[in-house]
Structure formats: structure tokens, C-alpha cells
């Protein structure tokens, strides 16, 4: 009787030994910008609090992830990330850890909410920034190289601390976009516009990043609106 041929089935994804799975959560919607009420600054970065809708999005994130085996929650030094992380932290009984290197892109002279105003006005510098896909078209803003160095340093620190674990990191739209472009070799702004409260899933091993999903917003559909993907 002939031996049955060996069969090779497809398998579900398994993170390699030593890898860290990171859920990159974009913070909830922050308060509206206006010329007469600019955002306060922390270390030069705009630091708005969450809009009421952003608090709703934070609650939805907490409900979505409350049963995941998350070992740690990271936030940046900007309050909108800590406010977004708070419901999930309560569900899991975890104290968020600050990783300041994952803070938002530094916008130089356009901090404090001015980027939103310039975008609405279709300012020529804003249009050139979009066309050239570089933040440092804005006077004093961060270059791709500087942004990449600090963001990768922050991710590496998380990875080194949590091998074989799942962690959540509440970060910013520009940072999510940068990590995705870095991981995939895409153009710098290819992933700009992640929705507030969305989840992007990456797997990091040494310096290699594998993308599992981007901008998962299934838990947020009734909280999103035309401005939900704007930076800051």
C-alpha cells in the first residue's frame, strides 16, 4: 500500500520567538484648535486635552481591548495619550508607562494647533509639505531622519523590555504613519490619516517590523467624522 503523500496546510500567523506584538493606538479626538485659544505646549509640542468625542473613543478602545493579554500600556508625555489609555488601564489594572520618544511629530512654528488652521486655509507651505512629503517644509519642524531616530529608539526600548509579550502603545497619527512607512518602505506620508482611536498592529523582532493590520476602527464607526484622520 502506497504511503499517503505529505500534506502542507496553511497556518495562522504566529509571532516568532522573542518578538514583541505592539498595538499602536492613536489617541482619541483632541479639542478643536482656534487662533484665539492655542494649545498649551509641553517641551515645545502642542498638548491639547481630549474632546468629549475623544473620551467616547477612549471608552470604546478600552472595551475593545479589555480581554486581550496585554502586559503593559505605554503613553507619551502628551496628555491626550494618557487620557485615551485611562479606560483600558482601569480594565486591565495596569499603570501606563511614559515613552516620550513616541510623542507626535514636532511641527516647529506650526505647533499649538496652527497646522490645522494652515491646512484648512490650504496655505502654500502646507501644500508644499504634502507634495514633498516632508514635515520640515514647515519652518523649524522635525526632519524624517530626526523623527525616525527617536521613534525607532522608543520602539526598540519597548521591544527589549517585552519579548514574547503583547503591549499597547497609545501614540499619535504622525507616529503611526511614520512607523508604517518605515516598516513597509512606503512613501513618507503614505499612511497619514489613521483615525482617532484606531488600532494598528505590528510585530517587532530585533530591528525588523512586520505589519499585521492598520487603522482598525471597527469599534469607532459612530464617532468618526470628516476631521478624524487629521494630524495632532
Tens digits of per-residue pLDDT, 78-131? Answer: 999 999 999 999 999 999 999 999 999 999 999 999 999 999 999 999 999 999
- % of the chain at pLDDT higher than 90: 93
C-alpha cell at 3: 504511503
Note whether 177 and 124 are within 8 A (CB): no
> What average pLDDT score do residues 48-71 get?
98
Superfamily of domain 20-28+38-213: Phosphoglycerate mutase-like (3.40.50.1240)
Task: Give the C-alpha separation, 97 to 161, whole Å.
Answer: 12
47 three-state secondary structure: coil
3-state secondary structure of 28: coil
pLDDT digits (tens, 9 = 90+) for 150-201: 999 999 999 999 999 999 999 999 999 999 999 999 999 999 999 999 999 9
117-132 per-position pLDDT tens digit: 999 999 999 999 999 9
Q: Among 229, 109, 111, which Cα is nearest to 177's?
A: 229
Domain boundaries, the chain: 20-28+38-213
Read off the pTM. 0.95
Amino acid at each position: 500500500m502506497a504511503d499517503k503523500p505529505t500534506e502542507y496546510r496553511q497556518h495562522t500567523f504566529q509571532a516568532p520567538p522573542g518578538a514583541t506584538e505592539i498595538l499602536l493606538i492613536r489617541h482619541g479626538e483632541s479639542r478643536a484648535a482656534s487662533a484665539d485659544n492655542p494649545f498649551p505646549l509641553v517641551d515645545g509640542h502642542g498638548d491639547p486635552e481630549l474632546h468629549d468625542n475623544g473620551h467616547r473613543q477612549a471608552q470604546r478602545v478600552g472595551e475593545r481591548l479589555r480581554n486581550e493579554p496585554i502586559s503593559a500600556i505605554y503613553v507619551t508625555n502628551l496628555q491626550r495619550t494618557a487620557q485615551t489609555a485611562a479606560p483600558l488601564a482601569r480594565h486591565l489594572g495596569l499603570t501606563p508607562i511614559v515613552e516620550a520618544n513616541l510623542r507626535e511629530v514636532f511641527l516647529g512654528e506650526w505647533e499649538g494647533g496652527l497646522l490645522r488652521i494652515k491646512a484648512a486655509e490650504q496655505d502654500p507651505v502646507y501644500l508644499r509639505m504634502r507634495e514633498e512629503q516632508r514635515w520640515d517644509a514647515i519652518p523649524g519642524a522635525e526632519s524624517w531622519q530626526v523623527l525616525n531616530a527617536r521613534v525607532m529608539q522608543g520602539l526598540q526600548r519597548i521591544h527589549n523590555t517585552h519579548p514574547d509579550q503583547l503591549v499597547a502603545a497609545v501614540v499619535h497619527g504622525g507616529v503611526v504613519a511614520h512607523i508604517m512607512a518605515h516598516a513597509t518602505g512606503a512613501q513618507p506620508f503614505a499612511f497619514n490619516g489613521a483615525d482617532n482611536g484606531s488600532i494598528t498592529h505590528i510585530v517587532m523582532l530585533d530591528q525588523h517590523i512586520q505589519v499585521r493590520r492598520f487603522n482598525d476602527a471597527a469599534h469607532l464607526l459612530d464617532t468618526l467624522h470628516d476631521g478624524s484622520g487629521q494630524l495632532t
